[in-house]
Amino acid sequence: MSNDIAATPPTIFRKDYVAPGFWVDTVEMGFDLDLHETHVATRITMRRNHDSAEKDLVLFGASLKLLQLRMNGVNLKKNAYTIDGEVMRIANAPDEVTLEIETLIKPLKNTSLSGLYASNGNFITQCEAEGFRKITWFPDRPDVMAKYTVMLRANKKKFPILLGNGNLIEEGDLGDGRHFAKWEDPFKKPSYLFALVAGKLVCQEENYTLKSGRSVLLQVWVEDGNLDKTQHAMDSLKNSIRWDEERFGLELDLDRFMIVATSDFNMGAMENKGLNIFNTKYVLANSRIATDVDYAGIESVVGHEYFHNWTGNRVTCRDWFQLSLKEGLTVFRDQEFSADLVGTTTGRAVKRIEDVRVLRQVQFSEDAGPMAHPVRPDSFVEINNFYTVTIYEKGSEVVRMYYTLLGHEGFRKGMDLYFARHDGQAVECDDFRAAMADSSGRDLTQFERWYSQSGTPRVKAETTYDAETQTYQLTLSQSCPATPGQDEKLPFHIPVAMGLLDAEGKDIALHCDAYSALAGATNLILELTEASQTFTFTGVAAKPVPSLLRNFSAPVLLDIEYSDEELGLLLANDSDPFNRWEAGQRLATRRLVKLTKAVQAGETLELDSMFIEALRATLVNESLDPSFRELVLTLPSEAMIAEEFDVVDPQAIHTARQFVRTALTQHLRAEFLSAYEANLTPGQYTPDAISMAKRALKNLALSYLSAWSDESTFELAQTQFDEAENMTDRLAALSALTNFHGTETQANAAAQSLKKFYKDFKKEALVIDKWFMLQAVADTTDVAKVRELMEHKAFTLGNPNRARSLTFSFCNGNPSRFHAADGSGYALWAELVIELNKINPQVAARLARSLDRWKKYPLHLQEHMKLALEKVAATKKLSKDVAEVIGKALAA
Ligand code: B3K
Ligand code: ZN
Return the SS3 of 426: strand
Contact 57, 98 (CB under 8 A): no
Atom of ligand 1 nearest to the CA of 327: 10
pLDDT tens profile 299-323: 999 999 999 999 999 999 999 999 9
Question: pTM to 2 decimals?
Answer: 0.98
Whether residue 683 has pLDDT greater than 50: yes
237 and 372 in a single domain? The answer is no
Instruction: Tell the residue nearest (CA) to atom 9 of ligand 1.
Output: 270
644 and 773 in a single domain? The answer is yes
Q: Which of 130, 305, 382, 884 is catalytic?
A: 305
- Identify which has the larger pLDDT, 559 or 6: 559
Domain with 404, as residue range(s), is 316-452
CATH number at residue 362: 1.10.390.10
Atom of ligand 1 nearest to the CA of 129: 6
Q: Is the CB of 341 under 6 A from ligand 1?
A: no
Whether residue 708 has pLDDT greater than 90: no
CATH number at residue 676: 1.25.50.10
3-state SS record for 438-470: HHHCCCCCHHHHHHHCCCCCEEEEEEEEECCCC
Instruction: Tell the residue nearest (CA) to atom 3 of ligand 1.
Output: 270
CA 68 vs CA 132, 586, 862: distances in Å = 18, 65, 53
pLDDT tens profile 278-287: 999 999 999 9
Q: Is the CB of 129 under 6 A from ligand 1?
A: yes
- At residue 707 the predicted structure's pLDDT band, cuts being 50, 70 and 90, is confident
pLDDT tens profile 498-537: 999 999 999 999 999 999 999 999 999 999 999 999 999 9
Mean of the pLDDT values across residues 766-771?
Answer: 99
Which candidate, 140, 114, 157, places its Cα nearest to that of 277? 114
Question: How many alpha carbons lie under 13 Å from residue 519 in its C-beta half-sphere?
Answer: 8
Average model confidence (pLDDT) across the chain: 97
444 and 465 in a single domain? The answer is no
Which candidate, 658, 732, 657, places its Cα nearest to that of 694? 732
38 and 183 in a single domain? The answer is yes
Pick the ligand that lies closest to the CA of residue 267. Answer: 1
Within its chain, how far is the Cα of 624 from the centroid?
29
Provide the pLDDT for residue 430. 99
Provide the pLDDT for residue 9. 87
Provide the pLDDT for residue 155. 98
Q: Is the CB of 271 under 6 A from ligand 1?
A: yes
Contact 772, 803 (CB under 8 A): no
Contact 518, 510 (CB under 8 A): yes
Whether residue 5 has pLDDT greater than 70: no
List 547's β-bridge partners, or say none.
499
447 and 463 in a single domain? The answer is no
Atom of ligand 1 nearest to the CA of 269: 8
Q: Tell which one of 127, 270, 302 to mutate to probe ligand 1, the residue whose CB is within 8 A of the most ligand atoms.
A: 270
Provide the pLDDT for residue 711. 85
Is the peptide bond prior to 129 cis by the omega test (within 30 degrees of 0)?
yes
Whether residue 245 has pLDDT greater than 60: yes
Return the SS3 of 307: helix
376 found inside a domain: yes
Contact 490, 497 (CB under 8 A): no
398 found inside a domain: yes
CA 87 vs CA 57, 70, 210, 358: distances in Å = 10, 17, 44, 38
Using CA atoms, how far apart are residues 589 and 526, in angstroms rounded to an integer? 27
List 173's β-bridge partners, or say none.
179
663 found inside a domain: yes
158 and 244 in a single domain? The answer is yes
Last residue of a domain, one of 291, 306, 330: 291
What per-residue string of b and e applies to 45-62 under the rule 16 or more CB within 10 Å gives b?
bbebeeeeeeebbbbbbb
717 and 669 in a single domain? The answer is yes
537 found inside a domain: yes
pLDDT tens profile 107-159: 999 999 999 999 999 999 999 999 999 999 999 999 999 999 999 999 999 99
Provide the pLDDT for residue 7. 60
Using CA atoms, how far apart are residues 229 and 232, in angstroms rounded to an integer? 7
580 found inside a domain: no
Element (H, E) at 135: none
854 and 754 in a single domain? The answer is yes
Instruction: Tell the residue nearest (CA) to atom 4 of ligand 1.
Output: 128
Using CA atoms, how far apart are residues 635 and 661, in angstroms rounded to an integer? 8
Last residue of a domain, one of 554, 584, 608: 554
- Measure 874 CA to ligand 2 centroid, in angstroms: 34
Using CA atoms, how far apart are residues 476 and 526, in angstroms rounded to an integer? 10
Q: Is the CB of 267 under 6 A from ligand 1?
A: yes
614 found inside a domain: no
820 found inside a domain: yes
The 8 Å CB, 24+ separation contacts for 524-527 are 524/497, 524/498, 524/499, 525/404, 525/405, 525/495, 525/496, 525/497, 525/498, 525/553, 526/474, 526/476, 526/495, 526/496, 526/497, 526/498, 527/405, 527/493, 527/494, 527/495, 527/496
343 and 271 in a single domain? The answer is no
Contact 648, 599 (CB under 8 A): no
Instruction: Tell the residue nearest (CA) to atom 10 of ligand 1.
Output: 327
194 found inside a domain: yes
Task: Tell me how many domains the chain contains.
Answer: 4
CATH number at residue 93: 2.60.40.1730
CATH number at residue 475: 2.60.40.1840
Which candidate, 614, 618, 624, places its Cα nearest to that of 590? 614
| Strand 494-501, strand 379-380: pairing | unpaired
Whether residue 6 has pLDDT greater than 80: no
Residue 603 is a catalytic residue: no
CA 215 vs CA 207, 211, 221, 827: distances in Å = 6, 9, 19, 57
Q: How would you list the strands of the sheet with 87-90, edge to edge?
A: 57-60, 87-90, 81-84
485 and 397 in a single domain? The answer is no
pLDDT tens profile 69-120: 999 999 999 999 999 999 999 999 999 999 999 999 999 999 999 999 999 9
Cβ neighbours of 356 (radius 10 Å):
19
Last residue of a domain, one of 554, 587, 603: 554
430 and 470 in a single domain? The answer is no
pLDDT tens profile 561-591: 999 999 999 999 999 999 999 999 999 999 9
475 and 345 in a single domain? The answer is no
List 31's β-bridge partners, or say none.
40, 152
The sign one gets for the Cα dihedral 83, 89, 92, 98 is: positive
